[in-house]
C-alpha cells in the first residue's frame, strides 16, 4: 500500500490499542492536529483499512477502528519486521545477544503510556 508516514503511524497506533479510538485521541497519539488526523482517517477509510462511526454518547465525536483488511496489513508489516530482526539476531553469537538484551532492557521496561507521554 502507498501510505504516507502519518497514515502508517495512524494505522499502527490503532493496531496497538485495545479498541477503537476517537479521532482526537489519534491526533494526540501521533502528534497531529485533529484536522490532519481526520484527513489521514479519511484516506484510510477510502483504502478500506479503517472504519469510522459516530460515538453513541456524542454524535460529534468520530470513532475509528481497523477493518479486517487493516488488521491484516498491520499484522503482515509487524511479522515482516519481526522476521527481519530474527534474521539479524541469528547472525549474532550468544555473548552479543546477551549484551544487546541488557542494553535494551530499559526500553522494554517502558509502558505504552510512558511512550505516549513523550509526545
Q: What is the pLDDT of residues 7-34, one digit of tens each?
A: 999 999 999 988 899 999 999 999 999 9
Question: Cell 489519534 sits at which residue?
Answer: 26
How many other CB atoms are there within 10 angstroms of residue 38's CB atom? 17
Report residue 69's pLDDT band, with 50, 70 and 90 as the boundaries.
very high
Q: What angle do CA 14, 112, 88 make, to 5 degrees?
A: 85
pTM above 0.85, yes or no: no
- What domain range is 114 assigned to? 1-118
- What CATH number has the domain bearing residue 1? 1.10.10.10
Number of domains forming the structure of the chain: 1
Report yes or no: 97 and 85 within 8 Å, Cβ to Cβ: no
- Please give the DSSP secondary-structure letter assigned to residue 75: H
How far is residue 112's CA from residue 79's CA, in Å, rounded to a whole number? 20
Amino acid at each position: 500500500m502507498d501510505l504516507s508516514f502519518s497514515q502508517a503511524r495512524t494505522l499502527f497506533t490503532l493496531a496497538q490499542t485495545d479498541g477503537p479510538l476517537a479521532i482526537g485521541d489519534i491526533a494526540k497519539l501521533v502528534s497531529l492536529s485533529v484536522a490532519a488526523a481526520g484527513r489521514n482517517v479519511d484516506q484510510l477509510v477510502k483504502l478500506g483499512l479503517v472504519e469510522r462511526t459516530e460515538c453513541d454518547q456524542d454524535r460529534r465525536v468520530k470513532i475509528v477502528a481497523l477493518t479486517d483488511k487493516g488488521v491484516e496489513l498491520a499484522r503482515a508489516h509487524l511479522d515482516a519486521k519481526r522476521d527481519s530482526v530474527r534474521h539479524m539476531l541469528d547472525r549474532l553469537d550468544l555473548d552479543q545477544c546477551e549484551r544487546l538484551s541488557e542494553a535494551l532492557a530499559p526500553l522494554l521496561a517502558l509502558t505504552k503510556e510512558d511512550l505516549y507521554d513523550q509526545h
